[in-house]
Amino acid sequence: MTSILEIPADEYMLPGNRSCAGCGLGIGLRYILKALEGKCVMTVPACCLTVLGGMYPISSITVPWVNSVFPGTAAMATGLVAGLKALKREDITVLAMAGDGGTYDIGIQGLSGAAERNANFLFVCYDNEAYMNTGTQRSGATPKGVKTTTTPIIGKIHSPKDMGQIMDAHNIPYVATTCISYPTDLYDKVKKAKDIYGLRYIHLCVPCPSGWQYDPKDTVTIGQLAVETGAIVLYEIENGIFRLTGRSRRLANGGKLKPITEYLSAQKRFANLDTSSLDELQEYIHKRWNEFITKDKTLTE
Amino acid sequence: MTVLNQQRVNNTHNHLSNPKTYPPGQHVVTGNQSAAIGAFLSGVQVVAAYPITPQSPVVEELAKFIEEGELPAEFVPVESEHSAMGVCIGASIAGARVFTATCANGLAYMCEQLHWASGSRLPIVMACVNRAMAAPWSVLNDQQDSMSQRDAGWIQLFCKDNQEIIDTVIQAYRIAEKVYLPVMVCYDGYILSHTVMPIEVPDGNKVKKFLPPYIPHTPIDISKPVNINPVTLADPRLNADGVLCHGYMEHKYLHHQSLRNSLKIIEEIDIEYKDIFGRSLGGLFSEYKTDDADVVIICAGSLSKMCTLVIDMLREQNVPIGLVSLRAYRPFPNQKLSVALKNKKLILTIDKSLSYGYQGPICIDIKSSLFESGISSTVISFVAGLGGRDIKPYEIAEKAYDYWNKFNKKELTNEIIYESQWINCKY
Amino acid sequence: MDHYKEVSNFFRNYKKDNITQIRWHGRGGQGAITSAKILAVAGFLAGYKGVTSAPFFGAERRGAPVIATTKLSKCTICDFSQIVSPDVVVVLDNTLLKTINVTQGLKPNGWVVLNTPQHFKYDFLQNSFNFIRVNATQIAEESGLISAGIPLVNTPILGTLLHVLPTIDLSHIHKALEQFFSPKAVLKNFDVISRVYKECSVEKIGNFLQELQES
Amino acid sequence: MNTRDCGHIISASSPAKGEAGKTGEWRTQRPVLNEAKCLAVRANKDICFQCWAFCPEGAIERKPGGPIDLTYCKGCGICAQICPADAIQMESEYDSPESTKSE
């Protein structure tokens, strides 16, 4: 595993960009582009990342970037791959990056089609668990109980989809989850994914101070809490082999999950949850955590 | 030429010059085959499409060329039309020559992508095999699909017969790559798409000469990265070097101007095509017996070929009638048409589509063109052939004869002038 | 009013194209559409400048009655409208006669080309039609032109059409077949077509009703 | 003044710092490094770099005591929060002797 000190100093995201103060996406983007050494062309639908990327005629990113319509990220990426292949320029990695709305909801058809075709690009879903760019509306990734502007009083009544499992069910060569609070985990996964042929899916948890309602300074610690409480689990599935990674792996190897309330109480979006919902959620987290541990046959290695 | 562009040139046109099954010369083929051969000869590098009747055989034919190894192109069997156009956009940005085909609801499904393609100024060529828009379901021909997308910023060219389809596809790449705009090659579903007729397949070696390699306007270059189509403000904005760059409106102005300029380009390229291949498609529109005509029929697509027969019939009945076949619908050749229609007393437009609540789109555009030029001809809007309703030459001839007589007897009522006349509607 | 009617009749009977119109009746999957196209190609090779062939524009499925058309003309065909009064109707399957009026719109003295076993009730025929009957199913069966257990009749019946359309000959059909089939399939199809052409002797062409009455 | 000189056919941006302007102006609190506490400064070695690693703006240089680019630092406070040595303090911009806007 790469350490922070081994991470290249090169930056491909420029300061003075349009992201919110404390936005986790900036951290994530920096490491993704570092891992790809800037040798990529990005494609991005309408989302927070579009805003971060900057308004014409100035770009905050020093790699080629092609914007896409909201549902069209995976198709655009497929097209870039096909076009570059036709021109024998396959040395360039095609990186598609969409938010949870552009992945779970409006983008899922195109993504599923591209996965079925095993189109040769890296898809990163940066998941901030709601439509943050349009003002925190609920998405297919929003956790149950969360207050958003479209679930304003009761909170979201549906559980989110498990996008990792959905992508894994497509039998693509690489699926991973990671979190911006563990940038070396992210870096290693992108680096590994870079050299795999086919559709590679990385799910990146990105805490959002405005949508999750916490102090911007806490972005990294909230992300850490997400992993330490088991709300987010870091894993990768490489050619069908599932293994927990990084902090999650260490927790599975003799560690202990923190109570979920530590993660939830740090954010106002969960303020609605009553005791029974919290118990239910805690139970769910443990059940899932145990499933992950059982699933990981490499833990004893 | 940069190294990157040189590389691109080398990588374009590495296909066989001619498809083995369709060597240069005469072949009896469907409209869909004609379009596919046209795409082959144009050396397309990426084909992405989703099946829809009556379009599917176009891409089936191309898939055959590709799987047989005759055409070294990438075939992307996408999961929707939305993605078909998405793939075309991506591949075109990457610098590849791309082709797709669709119709009707498929075209409507890619609507936002159509705007994205034209706004990105990508020379994508797409066959639109004209078919009626649901609901209710109909797989049969009319032109409501492409007409509904006339404002998507694409060039729209209509084909009269299968010969025009292959020639228009080849010309379309030349036009598209010259003005950096996507071109929709429209031809009537079934009437042309599924009907075989003789065509002359041009020699691929000549096509290669006619169609130089595609050079993208904004290459993907890691050493000179750009962010394509980011959020663009309403007003112009300075770049980091202090140069004032366009606002959204300036981009739209440029887009529109390029479409208007393409009026000239379409004509020039057609003339050049004629010099090389011996066939002209009439440039923006073609005329038949209009010189001495007092009354003119205007329509687009296969119907306009059938109408030459109608004109002959009516001429034998001493009706001074001629025909204008629209080829370019967008850009609309308003000025040239006004010249052609000067001194015409009665103009009969036949639309296979409707701008619901008003009249046929061709009629509306003709009327506004005439107004611009101060021509006060009487224009009557006919609607025909919706959802595959068969149109017989005699039906049109009877209508034209009838309305010409009414015009002469000053019997054209407001009902006729202000409302569309439906041909062969049994309601 | 009379004048209008006269003009209208003029339009309706206008025949500048002078198109020979052939209508094909078959069932989805029998290959009527392919044969209609082969005939168009053969016609083109035989010197018809204008040829078209199209399926009846619909969404017919396997087994359902289908219609295809072929138009042949000495000049370019401009009239893309559907055929209403054919010169020839080709019926690939005699069972169609029970449900479909195959002679609808058929021109007086037009031709009916029918694939049928010997004995069948032909009361649908009018006196004024010419008639060729051929047992293409049997010939296909004997010659082994069988696909998925079913004798193919769509191509064999082209052999009979050559008697109705004498400008087209076997060599044109052969060349046309090459556009549609592999060399092996061309050989096989052409063998059967030639046999059908020969066995369908000119004597058998005539007013079949008369033949029926005589028998 | 017209926009013709830019020569752009489409909307395509080129990279530059400060696309959103001097985002330092967004700050209400500024990070102030206490070098005496900073692990890297004290060791005078390339160690730690947590502040650099987690800056969402990329506004901190990868150097011991790596200067924070206050022109663009949005003052989120992550660096102060993440610093294992507690070497960065967030101080109110209003109490700060230097003007944020000076450049």
B293/B176 same-domain check: no
Rounded CA-CA distance A279/C81 in Å is 72
Query: In terms of residue numbers, what domain contains B26?
Result: 3-210
Rounded CA-CA distance C163/A211 in Å is 81
**Burial class, B209, CB count within 10 angstroms (exposed 0-12 / middle 13-18 / buried 19+):** exposed
Position A272: which residue type?
Answer: N
Q: With contacts defined as CB-CB under 8 Å, which chain B residues touch C59?
A: 53, 139
Top-confidence residue, B305 or D66: B305
At residue C2, the pLDDT reads 85
| Domains defined for chain A, CATH in brackets | 9-295 (3.40.50.970)
Please state whether B388 falls in left (phi above 0), alpha (psi between -120 and 50) or beta.
Answer: left
Whether residue D102 is predicted with pLDDT greater than 50 in this model: the reply is no
Identity of the residue in C41, C78, C79 whose CB atom sits nearest the CB atom of B28: C41
Q: With contacts defined as CB-CB under 8 Å, which chain B residues touch A116?
A: 79
Q: Are B171 and B42 a contacting pair, CB within 8 Å? A: no
Kind of pairing, strands A65-67 and A122-127? unpaired
Identity of the residue in A61, A75, A81 whose CB atom sits nearest the CB atom of B83: A75
Q: Which chains reach chain D with 3 or more Cβ–Cβ distances below 8 angstroms?
A: A, B
B245–D3 CB contact, under 8 Å? yes
D22–A16 CB contact, under 8 Å? yes
Q: With contacts defined as CB-CB under 8 Å, which chain C residues touch B399?
A: none
Question: Mutating which of B30, B131, B195 best tests the C interface, going by the most C Cβ atoms within 10 A?
Answer: B195
Which string of DSSP letters, residue by residue, matches B346-367? Answer: EEEEEESS--TTS--HHHHHHH
Asked if residue B411 is part of any domain, the answer here is yes
A66–B232 CB contact, under 8 Å? no
Whether residue A300 is predicted with pLDDT greater than 90 in this model: the reply is no
Top-confidence residue, B21 or A58: A58
Identity of the residue in A13, A16, A21 whose CB atom sits nearest the CB atom of D76: A21
At residue C62, the pLDDT reads 79
Helix (H, G, I), strand (E, B), or coil: what is residue B227?
Answer: strand
Q: Where are the beta strands (DSSP E) in chain D?
A: 12-15, 29-33, 88-92
Rounded CA-CA distance B359/A126 in Å is 48
Average pLDDT, chain A: 96
Instruction: Give pTM, 2 decimals.
Output: 0.95
Identity of the residue in B218, B244, B254 whose CB atom sits nearest the CB atom of D12: B218
Q: What chain A residue is nearest to B214 in terms of C-alpha separation?
A: A87
Asked if residue D1 is part of any domain, the answer here is no
Rounded CA-CA distance B59/B50 in Å is 9
pLDDT mean over B77-98: 98
Q: Are B283 and B271 a contacting pair, CB within 8 Å? A: yes
B246–D8 CB contact, under 8 Å? yes
What is the band of C18 on the pLDDT scale with cuts at 50, 70, 90?
confident
Helix (H, G, I), strand (E, B), or coil: what is residue A212?
Answer: helix
Q: Where are the domains of chain C?
A: 2-214
At residue C109, the pLDDT reads 81
Q: Helices A108-116 and B81-94 meet at what angle, rounded to 10?
A: 70
At residue B23, the pLDDT reads 95
Rounded CA-CA distance D42/B68 in Å is 69
Count of C-beta atoms within a 10 Å radius of residue A164: 20
Which string of DSSP letters, residue by residue, matches B71-94? Answer: S--EEEE-SSHHHHHHHHHHHHHH
User: What are the two backbone dihedrals, phi and then psi, of residue B349, each rounded to the nearest 5 degrees?
Assistant: -95, 140
Q: Which chains reach chain C with 3 or more Cβ–Cβ distances below 8 angstroms?
A: B
To the nearest whole percent, how much of chain C has pLDDT over 70?
85
At residue C60, the pLDDT reads 65
pLDDT mean over B286-292: 98
Q: With contacts defined as CB-CB under 8 Å, which chain D residues touch A24?
A: 56
Q: With contacts defined as CB-CB under 8 Å, which chain B residues touch C17?
A: 309
Average pLDDT, chain B: 95
* CA distance to B183, C71, C103, per residue, from B171 (Å): 10, 29, 45
Count of C-beta atoms within a 10 Å radius of residue D93: 16
The nearest CA of chain B is from the CA of C124 a distance in Å of: 27
The nearest CA of chain D is from the CA of A19 a distance in Å of: 8
pLDDT, tens digit, 9 for 90 and up, residues A24-50:
999 999 999 999 999 999 999 999 999
At residue C57, the pLDDT reads 66
Q: Which residues of B113-123 are buried (b: 16+ CB within 10 A; e: fewer)?
A: bbbbbbbbbbb
Asked if residue D80 is part of any domain, the answer here is yes
What is the band of A301 on the pLDDT scale with cuts at 50, 70, 90?
low
Q: Are C54 and C85 a contacting pair, CB within 8 Å? A: no
What is the band of D97 on the pLDDT scale with cuts at 50, 70, 90?
low
Asked if residue B262 is part of any domain, the answer here is no
In terms of CATH architecture, what is C2-214?
3-Layer(aba) Sandwich (3.40)
Question: Mutating which of C5, C6, C7 best tests the B interface, going by the most B Cβ atoms within 10 A?
Answer: C7
At residue B14, the pLDDT reads 58
pLDDT mean over B178-183: 98
Whether residue C214 is predicted with pLDDT greater than 90 in this model: the reply is no
Helix (H, G, I), strand (E, B), or coil: what is residue C25?
Answer: strand
At residue B269, the pLDDT reads 98
What is the band of B296 on the pLDDT scale with cuts at 50, 70, 90?
very high
D11–A7 CB contact, under 8 Å? no
Rounded CA-CA distance B331/B127 in Å is 17
To the nearest whole percent, how much of chain D has pLDDT over 70?
92
Question: Mutating which of A11, A39, A80, A108 best tests the B interface, going by the most B Cβ atoms within 10 A?
Answer: A80
At residue B12, the pLDDT reads 52
pLDDT, tens digit, 9 for 90 and up, residues C113-147:
988 876 555 555 656 678 888 888 888 888 888 88
pLDDT, tens digit, 9 for 90 and up, residues B306-346:
999 999 999 999 999 999 999 999 999 999 999 999 999 99
D15–A62 CB contact, under 8 Å? yes
At residue B15, the pLDDT reads 62
Rounded CA-CA distance B265/B258 in Å is 10
Q: With contacts defined as CB-CB under 8 Å, which chain B residues touch A85?
A: 74
Q: With contacts defined as CB-CB under 8 Å, which chain D residues touch A55?
A: 13, 19
Q: With contacts defined as CB-CB under 8 Å, which chain B residues touch C80?
A: 191-192, 195, 302, 305-306
pLDDT mean over D14-29: 96
CB pairs under 8 A between A and D: 119
Q: Largest alpha-carbon pair distance within chain C?
A: 62
Helix (H, G, I), strand (E, B), or coil: what is residue B98?
Answer: strand
Q: With contacts defined as CB-CB under 8 Å, which chain C residues touch B302?
A: 80
**Chain D residues 29-68 within an 8 A CB cutoff of chain A:** 46-47, 49-50, 53-59, 62
Closest CA to A56 of B249, D16, B230: B230
Count of C-beta atoms within a 10 Å radius of residue B16: 15
Asked if residue B122 is part of any domain, the answer here is yes
Count of C-beta atoms within a 10 Å radius of residue B13: 18
Asked if residue D99 is part of any domain, the answer here is no
Whether residue B280 is predicted with pLDDT greater than 80 in this model: the reply is yes
Q: With contacts defined as CB-CB under 8 Å, which chain B residues touch C55?
A: 190, 194
Q: Are B184 and B154 a contacting pair, CB within 8 Å? A: yes
Count of C-beta atoms within a 10 Å radius of residue B412: 15
Helix (H, G, I), strand (E, B), or coil: what is residue C152?
Answer: coil
Count of C-beta atoms within a 10 Å radius of residue A2: 15
Whether residue B211 is predicted with pLDDT greater than 70 in this model: the reply is yes
Q: Which residues of B369-397 are buried (b: 16+ CB within 10 A; e: fewer)?
A: bbeeeebebbbbbbbbbbbbbbbbbbbbb
Are chains C and B in contact at 3+ CB pairs closer than 8 Å?
yes
Q: What chain A residue is nearest to B11 in terms of C-alpha separation?
A: A87
B90–A43 CB contact, under 8 Å? yes
The nearest CA of chain D is from the CA of A17 a distance in Å of: 5
Asked if residue B308 is part of any domain, the answer here is yes
A38–B222 CB contact, under 8 Å? yes
Whether residue C27 is predicted with pLDDT greater than 50 in this model: the reply is yes
Rounded CA-CA distance A109/A121 in Å is 16
Residue A241 in contact with partner chain D when CB distance is under 8 A: no
D58–A30 CB contact, under 8 Å? yes
Rounded CA-CA distance B219/B225 in Å is 9
Query: How many separate domains does chain D show?
Result: 1
B308–C78 CB contact, under 8 Å? yes
The nearest CA of chain B is from the CA of A168 a distance in Å of: 19
What is the band of B3 on the pLDDT scale with cuts at 50, 70, 90?
very low
Domain closes at, from B210, B231, B263: B210
User: What are the two backbone dihedrals, phi and then psi, of residue B244, each rounded to the nearest 5 degrees?
Assistant: -75, 125
Identity of the residue in B45, B116, B233 whose CB atom sits nearest the CB atom of A69: B116
Closest CA to A48 of A125, A106, A122: A125
Position B424: which residue type?
Answer: N
Identity of the residue in B120, B227, B236 whose CB atom sits nearest the CB atom of D13: B227
Identity of the residue in B21, B195, B398 whose CB atom sits nearest the CB atom of C80: B195
What is the band of D94 on the pLDDT scale with cuts at 50, 70, 90?
confident
Are chains C and A in contact at 3+ CB pairs closer than 8 Å?
no
What is the band of C203 on the pLDDT scale with cuts at 50, 70, 90?
very low
Asked if residue B226 is part of any domain, the answer here is no
Asked if residue D34 is part of any domain, the answer here is yes
Query: How many separate domains does chain B show?
Result: 2
Query: In terms of residue numbers, what domain contains D57?
Result: 30-94
Identity of the residue in B180, B230, B248 whose CB atom sits nearest the CB atom of D13: B230
Position A86: which residue type?
Answer: A
Closest CA to C194 of C148, C151, C149, C136: C136
Rounded CA-CA distance B366/B351 in Å is 11
At residue C205, the pLDDT reads 46
Which string of DSSP letters, residue by residue, matches A119-169? Answer: -S-EEEEEE-SSBTTTTSB--TTSPTT--BTTB-SS---SPPP-HHHHHHT
* CA distance to A40, A102, C103, per residue, from A93 (Å): 4, 20, 65
pLDDT mean over D28-56: 96
Whether residue B6 is predicted with pLDDT greater than 60 in this model: the reply is no
At residue C149, the pLDDT reads 82
Question: Mutating which of A12, A36, A56 best tests the B interface, going by the most B Cβ atoms within 10 A?
Answer: A56
Kind of pairing, strands C150-151 and C146-147? antiparallel
Closest CA to B176 of B230, B117, B113: B117
pLDDT mean over A219-231: 98
**CATH no. for residue D63?**
3.30.70.20
Asked if residue D100 is part of any domain, the answer here is no
3-state helix/strand/coil string of C119-140? CCCCCCCCCCCEEEEECHHHHH
Rounded CA-CA distance A115/A293 in Å is 26
Whether residue A291 is predicted with pLDDT greater than 80 in this model: the reply is yes
Cis peptide before D56 (omega within 30 of 0): no
A21–D54 CB contact, under 8 Å? no
Rounded CA-CA distance C160/C114 in Å is 9
Residue D20 in contact with partner chain B when CB distance is under 8 A: no
Are chains B and A in contact at 3+ CB pairs closer than 8 Å?
yes
User: Which uninterrupted H or E stretch holds B13?
Assistant: none
* Total residue length of chain C: 215
At residue C201, the pLDDT reads 53
pLDDT, tens digit, 9 for 90 and up, residues A244-273:
999 999 999 988 999 999 999 999 999 989
Q: What chain D residue is nearest to A8 in terms of C-alpha separation?
A: D62
pLDDT, tens digit, 9 for 90 and up, residues A208-223:
999 999 999 999 999 9
At residue B2, the pLDDT reads 45
Q: With contacts defined as CB-CB under 8 Å, which chain C residues touch B306?
A: 78-81
The nearest CA of chain A is from the CA of D92 a distance in Å of: 14
Q: With contacts defined as CB-CB under 8 Å, which chain B residues touch A71?
A: 82
pLDDT, tens digit, 9 for 90 and up, residues B214-227:
999 999 999 999 99
